[in-house]
Amino acid sequence: MLEKATTQALKWIEENKFLLIEASDKVWEFSELGFLEFQSMKLLSSMLEKEGFQVERGVAGLPTAFVASWGSGKPVIGVMGEYDALLGVSQKKTPVKEPLNINGVGHGCGHNIHGVSGLGGSLAVKTVMGKAGIKGTVRFYGCPAEESGSGKVWMVRAGVFNGVDAVLSHHPGAMNYGGLASSLANNSVKFHFYGKTSHAAASPEQGRSALDAVELMNIGVNYLREHVVQDARMHYVIESGGGQPNVVPDYARSWYLIRAPERDQVDNIYVRILKIAEGASLMTETKMRVEFLKAVYNKLPSRALSEMITANMRTIGAPEYTEEELVFAAKLAESITPEAKRETLRKSKRPEWESLQSVLMDRSFPDAWDEGEVSHGSTDVSDVSWIAPTMEFSTATWPLGTPGHSWMNTACSGTPLGHKSLIFASKVIAATALDLFTKPEYLNAAWSEHKNRTRGKTYSSPLPPEAKPPLDMWEKKN
């Protein structure tokens, strides 16, 4: 049974769904890369401002971040929205691969929906809070550059999340699920080496190769792999390796991502990688400069919030799909081989995953099964999860088995499958936020779990104090 305020909030979302769908489709069309989401930020922040939210733009030194607040006092319930797109996944609203933009940017992670589902939930909550006299503050966080700049980590460092009592976030996915898996902590760092040019054949003795330094550093790290914790990941690319072979390169650059299940494990590995970089510089008589781009923590799950989310999903009920939508989903799913789908399901470790091979759009609501598991990706939601109980849940937006960051996700995020996921998720956020506002026992349970999970540990920003947000990361550098 839904409470009266919740029923009214869901009704508000139903009555205003075309407004939310229109906003999500506009963000889909803008398709802006991280830290360049000016149009998306403007659209979402203006919608909240128009409805009486107090908006602060450009928080934490990030021009495309904002915080929109409504109400006053405790509790403060945070809702996060992302709106950055990805390179390489541009796609038309069709179920077969057809890029839309020549620059290749598209919403292959569905962040156009991410930004608007939280906004819809926040607006609905605000509408009924006023009418029902519910006390507290709803705070919407406009979070830029999740994919490439970890916007939230800079926002946490600037104190933007201070005083928040719980944080809700929705991510499009293939399931309706409040997962409990952790994620990997990471550091993203560039190493610049500076040497001396010379004729590579006529006077090699005068040259000092920056490319040698990059290669020797990589060799050192590849030997290090055997002597780090099992789940650590170290990957690199050579971004700049010289101009032509008959000139000894005086400049070369590599870009590293270093990941591990716990923050202090990344810190330890990073110190060792710095020694290897210094060693490579010493061996080659080159100079070395470290450019620290960003870092994140591992994610703390919240069973209390997961259970609330799952219960609300079940009460609200999954979207019904039309014949046309199912035909679209089936056509799109033809691009996923049965073997790939099977592997995705197996990897999820979902109970009885074998029975899901024939499911197209998953309308079920499984209980969280993955506590103690580590998903092998990283997210800036993790840093927020150390400040207050946080839950990022998913709703079915694309067929089961669809890979992340793909053209298929772009297609679904801009079409009715995505629209239905958006409206459903807005309702789940509204219902869960209202539970948190009106039933203190829920917040208390979430906090006692959070205190247990953080016992003996303190969060300190993984960013070096001198680090600045990489706002210019899309500019070509030498």
Q: Which positions lie near Zn ion, rule CB under 5 A?
A: 109
**Closer to Zn ion by Cβ: residue 109 or 145:** 109
Displacement of CA 90 from its chain's centroid (Å): 18
Given the complex with Zn ion, which of 6 and 394 has the nearer CB atom?
Answer: 394
Tell the smallest beta-carbon distance from residue 82 to Zn ion (Å): 7
Residue (145 or 180) nearer to Zn ion, CB: 145
Sequence letter at residue 108: G
- Strand 66-72 relative to strand 54-57, pairing: antiparallel
For residue 130, give both structure tokens.
Answer: 């006023």
Cβ at position 352, least distance to Zn ion in Å: 27
Q: How far is the CB of 169 from Zn ion (least distance, A)?
A: 10
Report the nearest approach of Zn ion to the CB of residue 237 (Å).
21
Residue 83 or 328: which CB sits closer to Zn ion?
Answer: 83
Nearest-CB residue for Zn ion: 109
CB of 111 to Zn ion, least distance (A): 6
Min dist. Cβ of residue 56 to Zn ion (A) = 24
With respect to Zn ion, which residue has the nearer C-beta, 254 or 406? 406
- Complex with Zn ion: residue 169 or 218, whichever CB lies closer: 169
Q: Is the Cβ–Cβ distance between 66 and 160 less than 8 Å?
A: no
Mode of pairing for the β-strands spanning 287-296 and 390-396 = unpaired
Q: Is 9 exposed, middle or buried (0-12, 13-18, 19+ CB in 10 A)?
A: buried
Alpha-carbon gap, residue 308 to 302, rounded angstroms: 10
CB of 241 to Zn ion, least distance (A): 31
Cβ-contact 347, 356 below 8 angstroms:
no
User: Minimal distance in Å, beta carbon 375 to Zn ion?
Assistant: 12
Residue closer to Zn ion (CB basis): 109 or 181: 109
Give the contacts of 452 (CB within 8 A, at least 6 positions apart): none
Q: Least distance to Zn ion from the beta carbon of 327, Å?
A: 27
Cβ proximity to Zn ion, 176 vs 286, nearer residue: 176
> Of 109 and 316, which has the nearer Cβ to Zn ion?
109
